Structure 1
Amino acid sequence: MERDWTGIWIKAYSGYASMKPLQPSPYMRTVFHAPEKMQSAIVHLCALGVHQLYINNQVVDGDSWYKPALSQYDCRAGYLDYDVKEYLNPGKNVLIVQLGNGFYNAYNNWMYTANFVSWRGAPRMICDVEIDGKIIESSGVHWRVHSSPITYDCHHEGEDYDARLELPECFEPDYDDSNWQQPVRTVPPGGIIELENVEPRRVIRRIQPVKVTQTAANRQVFDFGINCSGVVEISVKGEAGTVLTIRYGEMLDGSGNVDTRNVDYCQRGARFETDRYTLKGGDEVETWHPQFVWHGFRYVEITSSKLPVTICSAVSLFISTDFPVTGHFHSSCAVLNRIQEITLTSYRSNFMGIPTDCPTREKFGWTGDAETAIETGWWNFNPRKGLEQLQKIIMDLQRADGTISTHGPTTLYGFEECSPSYSAFLYDFCHLTRLFTGDAAPIKTYYPKLKKTVLLLESMSRDDCLFHMGYGDWCHPLAPQGGDGYNNELDPTLVESALFVYILKLMSDFADDLKQEDDKQYFVTLRQRIITKINEYFYDRKEALYDNKSRSGTAMALYLDIAPVEERERIAKALVQLIRNENHRVLDGIQGAKFIPRALAEYGYAGDALQMIIQPEYPGWGNLVKQGASSLWENWKGNSSLNHIMFGDVSAWMYRYLAGMNPVAPGFKKVSIKPCFVAQLSEVSATYQTPYGTIEVAWTREGNTISLQVNIPQGITADIFLPQQEYCDVTGKKQYQIVVS
């Protein structure tokens, strides 16, 4: 929803304030009068890149962070409506907006630079104060501006705070700001200004250190035991002017200090993931945390510029989008439970308004990462709003010919690798939103743009009906290494072509829903043409495998209904033999890690799929647990980011196959329950909060007898598939006994 503003866009600094060195975070201050009585009071505020709102010495909505969420700012940006009635006094009131750079005015040294993006500029804002339906104050040049104690904030580098510069008196209405500067008129960011529709980012957990190590006389290293997104909150005493340098990292070097070499190649030789706090001194303990940046870390290294200084406490603030929790999964296997736990840690660490790539070097959205874990998000949370925020970003970036970016916000990079694997997210978002919520609105909204990208992808594969470029089975442990040391160079053709088949299946369904019969026929025909070509080019009938015994390609051909129907049992048997030959190690990239366990379970080999997941040898999820990982890694070797969600479909697999839950009709109006009673487990339980209530599935094993309990809420019917029996249209609480061999 857009609004008609009364105020004008203003900023604190004139000239090219977006270039280095970045200017201090400004306070934008005004005073206004409120009536004796009021029914409602709302501050409408768009303040970019990020902001904090204060009224009368109180932080408004102080438990939310990084407002507004990331967006393609020159296409759209979010404004927030703050209910401020409880903060106002009759008569004189002071309002201060503190501005931070965020991703709107970001700087880094990497190829995915934000230095020259089309929207970049100094932080700016527009504001209306509305009381009982009347605008009584608006942003303008009558406001006053002063620098704040945040002397530096940069999305990828960190934040500096000088407590000696605090002005607590400026938050009082009677403070004399006559020596402050006037703000500067400025242009809007360039896009639609619409009411933000994503959940706030909040501290979801406060984590105490599990170990503190003194690595030098003036340096301490804190180990919080969990690698997550957020910041550290410190409480400290020391002499005025003492500077604490706070470095964040996911691992330690041989001396026990923070080591960022696994992720800092984006800023090699420059500042990276570092905050600085300058003490004001005195007898009181000073407590502080950064406000406008976030980091990815397990370890925090704090170095003092002088001694003595006392660090009274350091607490990790795990910050993430505060979306609703919808699902819970538990089993009798401690390793599997730990895999579920670290998967959810990575999912939440990589969701800050939108699903992101990692909380360290990039901190913006990548569609490939979002796609590989999209169903895990839906089973455990309700991520719709944040997923749609990324959907809007990528759709806003779509070029006239249908080309889309692999990531966003951006304007410089990402279009060169436009391909099915990093486009599938856009289609799956629409599909899974309908499947999990029953809402088909995104299909109708995005259909024209989704069709345009399909036409673009078809034009790129027109000569032989195969798609030869893209990321393919990214981060494959056996792939040759590219020039940057971690890009893989496996032929992506089968993986990308198979995912194009998947996209076309979704588009034919969408066209059917929208009664676009000509489009549907086009998608069906093109899909079949590609399937035929894949089987001609890649399928080895003698071996019953695809692409020179490719595990990933074979699994995708099975799971995505590409393999000839009459060959599928043979193919599944050949695939599971490949897996067994390697002792169930996960010798696969992000696509194989998603589709192999699914394909195995679909064809009766769920036990082998589970063994892939829990076996302890390199590579695989069980090996991460064995190595003490507290989050999923970007690759199995652990030589890059240690907090990525790309291998995160494993949680969705638990719900779909071990608990056996599968929505059949949109919004879970109809559900299939078909648990896989694998021999390695004696107990599984899962719940999922549907639009109609909570589905519960639990089973236990005693000897060769399985006890299954299900609870299907009113409004839903379930078909229950057991080894020797099927039950249709079940509702309510039911219990079944199954004898297995």
Structure 2
Amino acid sequence: MRITLATACFLLVCNIGTAQVIATNLLTEDQKNPISIDARNPRFSWQLAANGSKANNQAAYEVQVDAIDAESGKPVSLWSTGKVLSGQTLYVPYGGKTLKSGHSYSWKVRTWDISGKQSAWSEPALWTMGLLSPADWQAKWIGPSTPDAVNGPVPLLRTGFLLNKQISKATAYITSHGFYEAQINGKKVGDAYLTPGWTSYNKRLQYQAYDVKGLLKSGDNAIGLSLGSGWYRSPLGPYNPRPDFYGKNLALLLQIKIVYTDGTEKLIVSDESWKSSTGALRFAEIYDGCILDTRLARQGWSEAGFNDRDWQDVKVQSLDKNNLVATINEPVRQHETFKPVKIITTPRGEKVIDFGQNLVGWVKVTVQGHTGDSIMISHAEVLDKAGNFYTENLRAAKAQNIYILKDNSKQTFEPQFTWQGFRYIKVTGIKGELNPADFTGIALYSDMKVTGSFACSNPLLNQLQHNIQWGQRGNFLDVPTDCPQRDERLGWTGDAQVFSRTASYNMNVHNFFSKWLKDVAADQYPSGSIPYIIPDVFTNGNNEVGGSTGWGDVSTIVPWTVYSAYGDKQVLENQYTSMKAWVKYIEKQTKNDLWVTGNHFGDWLFYSVNNDRDGTSAITNKYLIAQCFYAHSTQILLNSAKILNKKADEQYYTQLLQRIKNAFVKEYVTPNGLISSDTQTAYVLALEFDMLPVSLRQQAAERLVKNIKQYDYHLTTGFLGTPYLCDALSKFGHADVAYRLLLQDTYPSWLYPIKAGATTIWERWDGIRTDGSFEESSMNSYNHYAYGAIGDWMYQNIAGIQAGEAGYKKIIIKPAIGGGLTWAEGGYDCPYGHISSKWKIEGGKLDMSVTIPQNTTADIFVPDALGKTYQKFSVKGGDYHFQR
């Protein structure tokens, strides 16, 4: 049925059919058919779709869980919720009998809509429990018996085994100290890289599970693994990098559970029967790259029948299994590929290839030469002003992959146990001209689902969105890193928290952040202080290296962001103790409720004013910033206490928050509303975190606008002020100024790097100065996502997609018209389904289309073509078209 409502100035067309709902996209612990879950009571989520354009919301559901019989593979009824009167479709917990390690289960759901109509059962979803206790591991920790070191050859470990029955199911569980890569019968196990990922290894070590049935065969089989230093023992960090931070010795733990069709089982485990040697990979390290000498390759070493009699026995290591946890986040995988867009001979005569995109991963190269020829691939993000290959900003990182040829045949190489951040590569060792077909850039990042899209009529803003997304791709490699190219690549907490809202629009970061937050809590100091980086490799002994405002607040801000985006209350439950400890740490540092102690990074990398204009300054008092974030974390803790029904905490933090704000006003604000640091960041944080009495807020917003005008509509903010700048302006009626800042294309601005050719977000506003020279090489990354936090404003204000309730159970669509844009569109896959908002202006009229997912409600605010007035419509899931 189509209903048309028309007035003199407004037209609405919507589809409101009464089709039956169907449960789709079934997820277990936010994963699709996972094969290793260690949550004792997994949670189930689903979405509703309709066999038509629109359906009534869910009024009830029933979830049924079956065990999968190991011998027959058929389901056996285990548990049912019965009919539950609820619209809940997210995180319904299992409540049946105890689930068993390694056992498989299935579940399905049916729903009732508000008219009482019952759906058919959904298609079943599957999951398998992981290894739930140390006793489930029959494998032994093993490693090479001869000493191995960070700068030495990569160890190879192998064994053979016989299979003499038909296989029903085979699952490999693998982890290591260091990186590992496994092969069965000569084929790679899985498609993940940089496993087992980076956690606080001494407290939490992930294992991965793989379905390996397809790699096994009847008769003789073999498995082989190579071990790299990885995050476990590579020297990490630019400040006193220490090798062997977590331990000196590489080690492997592997267990393959094979279930035969007759119901019997067989275990293949790592133990003293394995053999060890080395092969072609002579060196592999995170910052410096790798050396691969194919003259020393062990052909067929992971295949059955390989002669390993000259290999050495492995050494069994006495290592803990109590810290082993199943992997909940998406693994690092290969993604987009790039071919050269240009081959350059630089003024220095170097052979350089431009891939056209600053990416993170590596280059696959095919070469032909002579035995012993050495091919070196070096990596860089930019060329210097003269057009030469520039690597000074990599600092101590060599970022070079070296390949040594075994003969004159054509060979193809990819690096192992390392990665690089680059747009350009320099090639040495290849005689003659370079052939573009021989080189492929491969992007590498955590395999998070892309959930957001944004485009508009301004090409520069579209490029900005592109740069933001590629900054996220390049820096979300198992942990949220600060940069991917130099001798750092660490999980800086401040960078992660400022970008987390934008990150949650671009990609599904639910599991990515949930995993990392467990390490935030694990590495939190006994005092409650939060390290600067997570996992924490700065700590030396009992020294605490952390506690900076805006960085430590990651412990409250990111859990709240995850809850807000995905509606997952368990994230708040898991992190609540850590959140409280951080706020308590601050509280102990205060004097008269003012945080005026400690070392803080402040508004990191703000615009440095060379010639002060009209008596203004961009330097914001670090303790003023600290007070604002103290209030913000307390507010989040208060909100979390309400959600978790912690009444005593709710009362306590309500009172504390008021004292914090009162102290801020008394210390930093004059009676007429002037903030002592008369800067953009000071006003932005005061407005964004509600630090001012209501009577002074609009006045503060006017002072913010005045400051921006004094800098000729340029921003002066750094890492902590920038994420909230346009948001604060919009909230107080200055969306036009926000647009003008966003569209500014001279330094300092978001668009200045784009006009300078950037394809990712820069660390500094002037990474490349207006005269073509570079900022100081000691800290000048060209792939650094923090300033990409503006993406959140673009989604929420230009496209107008906002969460009215946690997880988007209620949605707000309210685009801000401005900036000379004639059209914009945004899409977002929220936990309930796809949201879409599109608008365009033609002939002085606005045309707007909106999609709202099933089982949600939305308030749609339709602007006029000038963006001056809005008309509100409250709707349920469906497709809507507006003209005004």
CA distance in 1, matches of 2:692, 2:799: 27
- Conservation of the 8 A alpha-carbon contact between 2:140 and 2:253: yes
- Conservation of the 8 A alpha-carbon contact between 1:53 and 1:59: yes
CA distance in 2, matches of 1:431, 1:191: 29
1:326-355 per-position Cα deviation (integer Å, ceiling 9, x unaligned): 111111111111101001110110000121
Shift of 1:731: 3.9
- Are positions 1:696 and 2:843 aligned together? no
Distance 1:309 1:33, change over 3 A: farther
Q: Aligned AA for 1:734?
A: Y
Partner of 2:650: 520
Partner of 2:602: 472
- Conservation of the 8 A alpha-carbon contact between 1:247 and 1:258: no
Partner of 2:796: 656
CA distance in 1, matches of 2:579, 2:292: 45
Partner-residue secondary structure (3-state), 2:426: strand
- Are positions 1:279 and 2:405 aligned together? yes
- Conservation of the 8 A alpha-carbon contact between 1:114 and 1:410: no
Distance 1:506 1:695, change over 3 A: same
- Are positions 1:628 and 2:757 aligned together? yes
1:9-31 per-position Cα deviation (integer Å, ceiling 9, x unaligned): 1111445x44x6x2211110000
Distance 1:261 1:586, change over 3 A: same
User: Which among 86, 104, 119 is matched to residue 232 of structure 2?
Assistant: 104
Partner-residue secondary structure (3-state), 2:788: coil
1:209-261 per-position Cα deviation (integer Å, ceiling 9, x unaligned): 11112349994211111111111111111111111122111122466443221
Q: Aligned AA for 1:401?
A: S
- Conservation of the 8 A alpha-carbon contact between 1:218 and 1:303: no
Partner of 1:10: 142
Shift of 1:609: 0.9
Distance 1:567 1:463, change over 3 A: closer
CA distance in 2, matches of 1:28, 1:216: 47
Distance 1:724 1:386, change over 3 A: closer
CA distance in 1, matches of 2:143, 2:460: 53
- Conservation of the 8 A alpha-carbon contact between 2:549 and 2:601: no
Partner of 1:423: 552
Partner of 1:348: 473
Shift of 1:479: 6.6
Distance 1:619 1:309, change over 3 A: closer
Shift of 1:170: 2.0
CA distance in 1, matches of 2:434, 2:756: 34
Shift of 1:188: 2.5
Q: Aligned AA for 1:335?
A: L
- Conservation of the 8 A alpha-carbon contact between 1:547 and 1:554: no
Partner-residue secondary structure (3-state), 2:503: helix
Q: Aligned AA for 1:300?
A: I
Distance 1:332 1:712, change over 3 A: same
Shift of 1:687: 1.1
- Conservation of the 8 A alpha-carbon contact between 1:239 and 1:309: no
- Conservation of the 8 A alpha-carbon contact between 2:234 and 2:244: no
Deviates more, 1:508-517 or 1:214-223: 214-223
Q: Aligned AA for 1:477?
A: Y
Distance 1:157 1:240, change over 3 A: same
- Are positions 1:726 and 2:875 aligned together? no
Partner of 1:315: 440
- Conservation of the 8 A alpha-carbon contact between 1:237 and 1:309: no
1:447-476 per-position Cα deviation (integer Å, ceiling 9, x unaligned): 122111211111112345234442221111
CA distance in 1, matches of 2:268, 2:545: 47
Distance 1:59 1:66, change over 3 A: same
1:549-595 per-position Cα deviation (integer Å, ceiling 9, x unaligned): 11111011111111211122222122112212322212111122111
Partner of 1:387: 513
Q: Aligned AA for 1:390?
A: W
Runs of 4 or more above 6 Å deviation: none
CA distance in 2, matches of 1:217, 1:234: 23
Partner-residue secondary structure (3-state), 1:591: coil
- Are positions 1:334 and 2:466 aligned together? no
Partner of 2:73: none
CA distance in 2, matches of 1:541, 1:364: 44
1:51-71 per-position Cα deviation (integer Å, ceiling 9, x unaligned): 11111111121x321111111
- Conservation of the 8 A alpha-carbon contact between 1:228 and 1:297: yes
- Conservation of the 8 A alpha-carbon contact between 2:753 and 2:766: no
CA distance in 2, matches of 1:233, 1:189: 38
Distance 1:478 1:201, change over 3 A: same
Shift of 1:369: 0.9
- Conservation of the 8 A alpha-carbon contact between 2:279 and 2:296: yes
Structure 2: runs of 5+ lacking an equivalent: 1-37, 39-131, 611-617, 768-774, 863-868
Q: Aligned AA for 1:733?
A: D
1:270-309 per-position Cα deviation (integer Å, ceiling 9, x unaligned): x521111111122x321111111011111111111x8569
1:404-428 per-position Cα deviation (integer Å, ceiling 9, x unaligned): 2120222434943313301222222
Q: How does 1:647-686 map to 2 (within 5 A)?
A: 647-686=787-826
Partner of 1:192: 323
- Conservation of the 8 A alpha-carbon contact between 1:365 and 1:390: no
Deviates more, 1:513-522 or 1:157-166: 513-522
Partner of 2:314: 183
- Conservation of the 8 A alpha-carbon contact between 1:249 and 1:299: yes
Q: Aligned AA for 2:735?
A: A
CA RMSD for the aligned pairs?
Answer: 2.2
Partner-residue secondary structure (3-state), 1:231: strand
CA distance in 2, matches of 1:153, 1:54: 18
- Conservation of the 8 A alpha-carbon contact between 1:224 and 1:298: yes
Q: Aligned AA for 2:284?
A: D
Deviates more, 1:429-438 or 1:317-326: 429-438
Q: Percent of aligned pairs with the same residue? A: 28
TM-score w.r.t. structure 2 length?
0.78
- Are positions 1:131 and 2:258 aligned together? yes
- Conservation of the 8 A alpha-carbon contact between 1:74 and 1:189: no
Partner-residue secondary structure (3-state), 2:168: coil
Q: How does 1:206-245 map to 2 (within 5 A)?
A: 206-215=337-346, 219-245=350-376
Partner of 1:84: 212
1:309-337 per-position Cα deviation (integer Å, ceiling 9, x unaligned): 96662221111111111111111111111
- Are positions 1:75 and 2:203 aligned together? yes
User: Which among 394, 407, 421 is matched to residue 296 of structure 1?
Assistant: 421
Partner of 1:494: 624
Partner of 2:785: 645
CA distance in 1, matches of 2:417, 2:472: 21
- Conservation of the 8 A alpha-carbon contact between 1:237 and 1:310: no
Shift of 1:36: 2.8
Shift of 1:165: 1.3
Distance 1:24 1:191, change over 3 A: farther
Q: How does 1:541-690 map to 2 (within 5 A)?
A: 541-542=671-672, 544-638=673-767, 639=775, 640-690=780-830
- Are positions 1:707 and 2:847 aligned together? yes
CA distance in 1, matches of 2:240, 2:555: 21
Q: Aligned AA for 1:737?
A: Q
Distance 1:135 1:368, change over 3 A: farther
Partner of 2:525: 399
Partner-residue secondary structure (3-state), 2:454: strand
Larger radius of gyration: 2
Shift of 1:432: 2.2
Distance 1:704 1:591, change over 3 A: farther
What is the number of equivalent residue pairs in this alignment?
718
Partner of 1:147: 278
CA distance in 2, matches of 1:349, 1:422: 21
CA distance in 2, matches of 1:112, 1:636: 28
Deviates more, 1:414-423 or 1:23-32: 414-423
Partner of 1:454: 583
